[in-house]
């Protein structure tokens, strides 16, 4: 089995197989803590490796990675960071707000690369985009600022809909901002918005059932690492209920979801890998500008639309960056 096809997992921990302890100890180690699961993040993790290669680092040859997967349980990050410090990793790489705030609290000396969905200056992570200063730098995707756009696109897909649903994770730090954006967008669109909540998998069925009982005609799945880690369950549930659904990442659409709008998760991981490699080579994180991902893509799954009995509006299809058959 090839390395990229398998990750050894133990209690949210993973290391690339075939790398012995002595070998890992002889090379720099990156501590990579992410909010999702190994299964749903394989393409992104492969992109992270590609970014490392751009800086001259190949996993297993001159760098090792210690993985930690929160699987949507954000309270794990504090323990992850303590473990990284104990293991004396050379660089910490982490995603989402919970991960980076845990890293910021845990250390002011270990170089740390983040990937977040909000403005890192407003979050107090860095002093500026061009000169972050301190031990932090990374990538921002502004992912949580796109919910209004996603709702508008969903409404265009089902233009006769008068009631739209939104599934949000109340444990996700940007929840209040997401809710505000969606309520304002629904008002502009002249539709009723039904918001349901879930922060554990067992709540999905009840949340969807509640939304259906309130006569929603389509649903938006809010940006959340937890939802991304449960991607397949959400896609299957929406299909079973015959609900057109809008998602955050194209990965959902490739897995059978109807549509998505956002940046590419793999691009953020690739950039994080590039920065991690540059830091290992001697660059200071405070001198590396925070990268703003500005390429957004709109993806539609035509097969899913047909299965739902939806005829994709020609103008909407023409605006899509990609239409999957």
The confidence score (pLDDT) of residue 72 equals 76
- Whether 272 and 51 have beta carbons less than 8 Å apart is answered as yes
The confidence score (pLDDT) of residue 144 equals 61
| DSSP string for residues in 156-212 | HHSTT-SEEEEEE-TTSTTHHHHHHHHHHHHHHHT-EEEEEE-SSGGGHHHHHHHHH
Q: Does residue 314 register a pLDDT over 80? A: yes
How far apart (Å, rounded) are the C-alpha atoms in residues 280 and 288?
13
pLDDT digits (tens, 9 = 90+) for 262-309: 988 899 999 999 999 999 999 999 999 999 988 899 999 999 999 999
pLDDT digits (tens, 9 = 90+) for 34-87: 988 888 888 899 999 999 999 999 999 999 999 999 887 888 999 999 999 999
How far apart (Å, rounded) are the C-alpha atoms in residues 302 and 256?
10
The confidence score (pLDDT) of residue 6 equals 35
- Whether 83 and 70 have beta carbons less than 8 Å apart is answered as no
- pLDDT average, residue stretch 250-269: 93
Residues in the chain: 325
Query: How large a percentage of the chain has pLDDT more than 70?
Result: 91
Domains of the chain, start order? 3-142+264-292 (3.40.50.2300), 144-262+297-324 (3.40.50.2300)
More confident residue, 241 or 123: 241
pLDDT digits (tens, 9 = 90+) for 143-170: 666 899 999 999 999 999 999 999 999 9
- Look up the pTM and report it: 0.79
- Residue 125 is encoded by which pair of tokens? 């992570």
């Amino acid at each position: 089995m090839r390395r990229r096809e398998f990750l050894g997992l133990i209690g949210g921990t993973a290391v690339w197989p075939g790398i012995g302890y002595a070998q890992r100890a002889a090379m720099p180690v990156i501590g990579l803590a992410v909010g999702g699961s190994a299964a749903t993040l394989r393409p992104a993790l492969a992109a992270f490796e590609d970014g490392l290669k751009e800086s001259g680092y190949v996993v297993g040859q001159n760098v090792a990675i210690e993985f930690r997967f929160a699987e949507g349980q954000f309270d794990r990050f504090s323990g992850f960071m303590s473990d990284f410090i104990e293991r004396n990793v050379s660089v910490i790489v982490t995603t989402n707000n919970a991960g980076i705030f845990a890293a910021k609290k845990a250390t002011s000396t270990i170089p740390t690369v983040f990937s977040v969905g909000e403005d890192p200056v407003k979050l107090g992570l860095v002093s500026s985009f061009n000169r972050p200063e301190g031990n932090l730098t990374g990538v921002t995707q502004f992912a949580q600022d796109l919910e209004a756009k996603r709702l508008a696109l969903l409404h265009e897909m089902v233009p006769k809909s008068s009631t739209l649903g939104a599934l949000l994770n109340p444990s996700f730090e940007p929840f209040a901002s997401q809710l505000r954006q969606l309520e304002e967008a629904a008002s502009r669109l002249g539709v009723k918005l039904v918001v349901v909540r879930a922060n554990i998998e067992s709540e999905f069925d009840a949340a969807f059932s509640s939304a259906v009982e309130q006569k929603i005609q389509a649903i938006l799945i809010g940006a959340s690492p937890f939802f991304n880690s449960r991607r397949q369950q959400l896609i299957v549930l929406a299909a079973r209920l015959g609900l057109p659904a809008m998602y955050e990442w194209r990965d959902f659409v490739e897995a059978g979801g109807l549509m998505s709008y956002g940046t590419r998760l793999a691009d953020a991981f690739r950039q994080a890998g590039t920065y991690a490699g540059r830091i290992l080579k001697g660059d200071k994180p405070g001198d590396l500008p925070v990268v703003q991902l500005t390429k957004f893509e709109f993806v539609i799954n035509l097969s899913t639309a047909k299965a739902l009995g939806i005829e994709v509006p020609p103008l909407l299809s023409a605006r899509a960056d990609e239409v999957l058959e």
